């Protein structure tokens, strides 16, 4: 018994260590927002932003907007890095195993639908006959919309429900936004996000498994979801930054970097605005949509929460 416990402990430590080291692989993983292609895309967007704002471009201007040591080594940014690496280890050990259950949910949903409609259909599945490319397109779009709406809804709840806000507040305490601020989250928020992903992906997959058995797939490139990769390439890394890039008229459909920066603002008239992840239509329906003017500036952070101690943020949900 003792020997098996020791083996389990060593396996746990190995998994945790591998998780802590996993952020070093992000630039080479096409599924990650910090993939090298997405970083280059963000730099090109900064070049466009500088040219649009100043009518010219040179390396000194680029350096000014990319930021220097004062920006990337700000105490708030250093806390981002700590949370990023430590949470990566926690996620591998406690949260990633949960995501394996997506297949179980999908099969369960499909089986439930078969039981519910079996007598009507007199068969195991509805078995709609459509060309495979059409099914793949339908599945990709439905999954993308369902994922985006569920992210919006969970995000909205985490601002409106006090106990959930105490968890999500960790993300909003960032006083300087960098692309790594994306990973500035409490482990409990990671767990809630994993459950959301489990139920949504499993549920949508189960419905399509029932309707089109054997044809389930998504648009992919480099082995990852195409729509997710396009989102990462569309200036996603600038959402957590000081680059106030606008999408112009497209902001009525998509959340731009400057719209998400408003969401992090301390200004009272910016509170609880722009909860969307990719699509802004949910904010329009919930009346939380806010399109900032060109002259508006944002100061980031949460009043009274300026600590940069790691333990302070891990204990934050339990202090009230």
pLDDT grade for 222, boundaries at 50, 70 and 90 = very low
In angstroms, the CA 82 to CA 20 distance is: 10
Contact call for residues 79 and 313 (beta carbons, < 8 A) = yes
261: Cβ contacts below 8 Å, ≥ 6 apart: 177, 239, 241, 242, 244, 298, 300
H-helix or E-strand spanning residue 225: strand 224-225
Q: How far apart are alpha carbons 260 and 257 in whole angstroms?
A: 5
Average pLDDT value over all residues in the chain: 88
Q: 295: which 2 tokens?
A: 């002259």
Q: If you average pLDDT over residues 157-168, what whole number do you get?
A: 96
Range of the domain at 294: 2-318
Q: How many CB atoms lie within 10 A of CB 315?
A: 11
Across the strands, what pairs with 254?
Answer: 279
Number of domains in the chain: 1
Higher pLDDT, 96 or 156: 156
- H or E segment to which residue 271 belongs: none
- If one counts every other C-beta atom within 10 angstroms of the C-beta of residue 54, the result is 11
Contact 142, 196 (CB under 8 A): no
Q: Which of 23-37, 214-228, 245-259 has the lowest mean pLDDT?
A: 214-228
| CA pair distance 218, 204, nearest whole angstrom | 12
pLDDT of residue 233: 83
Q: Is the pLDDT of residue 217 over 90?
A: no
- Checking if the pLDDT of 129 tops 50, the result is yes
- d(Cα 121, Cα 126) in Å, to the nearest integer? 7
Residue 123, phi then psi, degrees to nearest 5: -170, 175
User: Is the whole-model pTM more than 0.85?
Assistant: yes
Closest CA to 238 of 10, 19, 41: 41
């Amino acid at each position: 018994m003792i020997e098996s416990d020791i083996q389990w402990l060593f396996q746990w430590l190995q998994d945790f260590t591998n998780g802590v080291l996993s952020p070093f692989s992000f630039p080479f993983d096409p599924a990650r927002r910090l993939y090298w292609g997405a970083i280059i895309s963000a730099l090109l967007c900064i070049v466009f932003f500088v040219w649009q704002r100043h009518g010219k471009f040179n390396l000194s201007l680029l350096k000014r907007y990319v930021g220097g040591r004062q920006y990337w080594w700000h105490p708030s940014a250093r806390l981002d890095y700590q949370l990023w690496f430590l949470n990566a280890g926690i996620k591998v050990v406690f949260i990633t195993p949960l995501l394996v259950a997506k297949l179980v949910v999908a099969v369960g949903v499909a089986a439930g639908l078969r039981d519910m409609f079996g007598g009507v259909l007199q068969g195991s599945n509805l078995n709609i006959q459509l060309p495979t490319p059409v099914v793949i397109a339908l599945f990709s779009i439905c999954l993308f919309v369902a994922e985006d709406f569920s992210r919006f809804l969970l995000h909205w709840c985490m601002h409106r429900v006090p106990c959930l806000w105490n968890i999500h507040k960790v993300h909003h305490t960032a006083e300087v936004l960098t692309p790594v601020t994306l990973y500035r989250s409490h482990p409990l928020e990671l767990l809630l996000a994993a459950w959301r992903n489990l139920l949504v992906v499993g549920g949508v997959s189960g419905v399509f498994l029932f309707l089109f058995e054997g044809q389930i797939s998504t648009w992919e490139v480099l082995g990852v979801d195409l729509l997710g990769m396009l989102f990462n390439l569309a200036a996603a890394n600038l959402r957590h930054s000081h680059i106030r890039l606008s999408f112009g008229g497209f902001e009525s459909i998509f959340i731009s970097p400057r719209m998400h920066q408003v969401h992090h603002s301390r200004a009272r008239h910016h509170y609880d605005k722009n909860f969307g992840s990719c699509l802004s239509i949910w904010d329009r329906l919930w009346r939380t949509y806010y399109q900032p003017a060109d002259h508006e500036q944002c100061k980031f952070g949460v009043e009274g929460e300026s600590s940069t101690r790691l333990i302070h943020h891990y204990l934050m949900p339990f202090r009230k």
